[in-house]
Homo-oligomer: A and B are copies of this chain.
Amino acid sequence: MQNFDYQTPTRLIFGRGVIGKLPSVMAQFGKKVLLTYGGGSIKRIGLYQKVMELLKGYQIVELGGIQPNPKYDPSVLEGVRLCKEHKIDVILSVGGGSVLDCSKVIAAGACYDGDPWDLITRKAKTTAALPIVDILTLAATGSEYDQFGVISRTETNDKIGYGDRHVYPHTSFLDPEYTFTVSRKQTAAGIADAMNHTIEQYFVEDATLLNDGFCESMLRSLMVNGRKCLENPEDYTARAEMMLACTYGCNGILALGNSESGWPCHGIEHALSAYYDITHGEGLAIITPRWMQHILSERTLPRFVKYGVNVFGIDPSLDGWEIARRSIDETYKFFESIGIPMHLREVGIDESRIGEMAHHIALNEGLEEAYAPLTEEDIRQILLASL
């Protein structure tokens, strides 16, 4: 078991109607708020109006239009500029993981004198950040309970994960009802995203029995409740359990004491999103079974057997290779069954830039250190198999 140093200070306020506590939470900070959001769905569901009503008396500066795979330019740059110009006290992020990821980098950038890109690339250390409160409207990334954000820079095809303890949200409001109107496509992508977060932490060299059980429980819960959310988008209990499960995706609690996995599917998918701006969860769902197939070996076989038996209920008396093969099939079939396009071509990616992407990934993602080390050629093969 590996040593670790762990802390998740975020307060989770979860359930129907919890937004009523927003004023008491916001009262801990000053009166100048940067309100960040995405394409406007928060206005359609009345959440924007509700927030405005609850925050009467606050000076609210808005940064809307934050896109999926949030962009350094303009969103981060504009947000930092607004924070500095208006001497913002607190950021209120209302939306999904992309809005929150972007808000985290803005929060750090607002407390840094140089180019915020220095913080993302770790050229400079984050030493402070504005406090962040969020109201989540999409269950997927786990950003509401972790210290990470992923930012894309279009002109260089970079999509880089940023993380620092200063950007844990202060408080996350999680009302499952706000996810009732999430589309089938985004619901499915959220399920795939959270499942992949779990799988990335499950496939490691020395998992504890405890963590394995937590991860297996996550995967079973996400599949059962994910399906229910798709069948009945207003199934409160299913939306709620999916929302809670997603929350654990990236804050480390599923893998305390395990060795590093390298998060290989994320490393590969980041390039897909950066080059083609596809939906992150869909990219992960496409890559995951191909990555599994590629890394299956004598050494990794026992992990696949455990995965197949405990997550999909495959008969443990079968031959190990057969269990492994079926577990990969089941993974693929589950994603397919919830309506995810399972080929890169279906999301607009052809073979033309695969070599370039494999090179970019090999250079930037450190996957030679992953649980199952991946060279540039390995990555190219996984991408080709995903076409």
Contact = CB atoms under 8 A, between A and B. Distances in A.
B221 A209 contact: yes
Interface in A231-269: 236-237, 240-241, 244-245, 253, 256-257
A240 B7 contact: no
B236 A209 contact: no
Given A209-B221, A221-B208, A244-B210, A1 B236 contact: yes
Interface string A210-221: 101110111011
A116 to B, nearest CB: 27
A28 interface: no
Contact of A7 (B1, B9, B212): B9
A45 interface: no
Contacts of A213: 213-214, 216-218, 220-221
A225 interface: yes
A24 to B, nearest CB: 11
A212 B256 CA distance: 19
A224 B208 CA distance: 11
Nearest to A218: B210
B12 A7 contact: yes
Contacts of A1: 15, 176, 236-237, 240-241, 244
Contacts of A14: 3-6, 256-257
Interface in A190-223: 208-210, 212-214, 216-218, 220-221
Interface in A1-53: 1-18, 21
Contacts of A214: 213-214, 217
Interface of A: 1-18, 21, 176, 208-210, 212-214, 216-218, 220-221, 224-225, 236-237, 240-241, 244-245, 253, 256-257
11 contacts: A2-B15, A4-B13, A5-B14, A5-B18, A6-B14, A208-B241, A209-B220, A210-B217, A213-B216, A213-B217, A213-B220
